[in-house]
């Protein structure tokens, strides 16, 4: 199937990035959100993305202008979807919102439209029925700062048509992504199935007093050649996200070490507004964290 017109639902952090990336690679993109005010605000995000593409990818002003011209905006779902070949959903990570959205969309979208969800933590089988077209539904998961961290994990549910899956793999490549197909459903896809245990292990070593932040990061960097250790990564991900994931885990399992991690993050970071790179301080201070200093690894 030939994809030409793409609608992105949700103009927040990820939705705006996916929309700009897709327009930058030549597609006509319709951005849908729940109100014109929100869409108006998102235009500032698109301006910033244009600047980031110039700085990080050496994009020219002309390329940025052309990408901007391919973006349209609508808060009316019926007209936002009426000719879409592909809909990428980046609405809030709340099951009730996503189900309500897909249920409404199912009635309005043309038969041809493929639906793809960018959900980080939910499985496509959770929503397949509410889409009204389970065979044309997959997860297409991007990472934050999509233009630099250009992974696209593609994950079907048992009822996804393999041809649709392949179409989305090809689409992901066509917008400059490294396409990473999964053969079965996996909570957290590949990236978070690898990353979350690493970050948890780092926090576990820290709160049990086995070692300190810098030594743990240094160990990982020297031993594996990775550019950043678990605490440097936690600062990039954001302490709030780490806190939420650990809290969910602690509430579910009652694990006392997880609870210790939760209390530690709340007291030392959340309550003090030290939320990582975004606020200028987390485990390290930014823009010049000590792990980037020349003698850090000595």
User: Residues in the site for ligand NAD, rule: CB under 6 A?
Assistant: 9-15, 32-34, 38, 90-93, 97, 101, 118-120, 142, 144
Token pair of 98 as six digits: 């996503």
Choice between 165 and 189, CB closer to ligand NAD: 189
Choice between 8 and 250, CB closer to ligand NAD: 8
- Which one-letter DSSP state was computed for residue 112? T
Side-chain half-sphere CA neighbours of 37 within 13 A: 0
Choice between 9 and 177, CB closer to ligand NAD: 9
Residue 168 φ then ψ, to 5°: -70, -35
**173: helix, coil or strand?**
helix
Residue 193 φ then ψ, to 5°: -70, -25
- Nearest residue to ligand NAD on Cβ basis: 12
Helix runs in the chain, H state only: 13-24, 36-57, 61-69, 77-81, 95-108, 162-174, 191-207, 213-224, 230-237, 239-253, 256-265
Choice between 13 and 210, CB closer to ligand NAD: 13
Minimum CB–partner distance for residue 98 and ligand NAD (Å)? 7
Minimum CB–partner distance for residue 237 and ligand NAD (Å)? 8
Choice between 92 and 197, CB closer to ligand NAD: 92
Choice between 101 and 220, CB closer to ligand NAD: 101
Minimum CB–partner distance for residue 178 and ligand NAD (Å)? 15
Choice between 19 and 216, CB closer to ligand NAD: 19
Minimum CB–partner distance for residue 238 and ligand NAD (Å)? 8
Token pair of 244 as six digits: 């939420």
Bond preceding residue 106 cis, omega within 30 of 0: no
Tally of CB atoms within 10 A around 236: 15
Minimum CB–partner distance for residue 41 and ligand NAD (Å)? 8
Minimum CB–partner distance for residue 293 and ligand NAD (Å)? 28
Choice between 60 and 121, CB closer to ligand NAD: 121
DSSP-assigned states of every residue in 59-122: --HHHHHHHHHTEEEES-HHHHHTT-SEEEE---S-HHHHHHHHHHHHHHS-TT-EEEE--SS-
- The dihedral over CA atoms of 44, 58, 6, 155, expressed in degrees to the nearest 10, equals -110
Indicate if the alpha-carbon torsion angle 78, 155, 237, 268 is positive or negative. Answer: positive
Of 294, 280, 296, 295, residue with least CA distance to 214: 296
Minimum CB–partner distance for residue 63 and ligand NAD (Å)? 24
Minimum CB–partner distance for residue 42 and ligand NAD (Å)? 7
Q: Which residue has the tokens 């990408």?
A: 67
């Amino acid at each position: 199937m030939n994809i030409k017109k793409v609608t992105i639902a949700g103009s927040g952090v990820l939705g705006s990035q996916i929309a700009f990336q897709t327009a930058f690679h030549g597609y006509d993109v319709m951005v849908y959100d729940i109100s014109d005010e929100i869409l108006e605000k998102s235009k500032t995000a698109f301006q910033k993305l244009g600047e980031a593409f110039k700085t990080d990818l050496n994009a020219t002003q002309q390329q940025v202008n052309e990408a901007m011209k391919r973006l349209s905006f609508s808060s009316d779902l019926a007209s936002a979807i009426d000719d879409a070949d592909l809909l990428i959903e980046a609405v809030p990570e709340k099951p009730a919102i996503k189900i309500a959205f897909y249920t409404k969309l199912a009635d309005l979208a043309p038969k041809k439209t493929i639906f793809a969800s960018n959900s980080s933590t939910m499985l496509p089988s959770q929503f397949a029925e509410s889409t009204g077209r389970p065979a044309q539904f997959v997860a297409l998961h991007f990472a934050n700062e999509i233009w630099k961290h250009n992974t696209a994990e593609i994950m079907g549910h048992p009822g996804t048509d393999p041809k649709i899956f392949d179409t989305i793999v090809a689409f992901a490549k066509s917008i400059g992504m490294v396409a990473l197909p999964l053969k079965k459903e996996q909570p957290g896809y590949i990236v978070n199935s690898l990353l979350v245990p690493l970050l948890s292990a780092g926090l576990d070593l820290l709160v049990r007093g086995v070692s300190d932040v810098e030594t743990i990061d240094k160990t990982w960097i020297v031993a594996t050649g990775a550019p950043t250790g678990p605490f440097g990564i936690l600062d990039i991900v954001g302490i709030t996200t780490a806190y939420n994931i650990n809290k969910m885990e602690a509430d579910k399992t009652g694990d006392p070490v997880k609870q210790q991690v939760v209390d530690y993050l709340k007291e030392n970071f959340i309550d003090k507004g030290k939320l990582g790179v975004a606020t200028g301080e987390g485990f390290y201070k930014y823009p010049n964290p000590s792990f980037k200093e020349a003698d850090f690894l000595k």
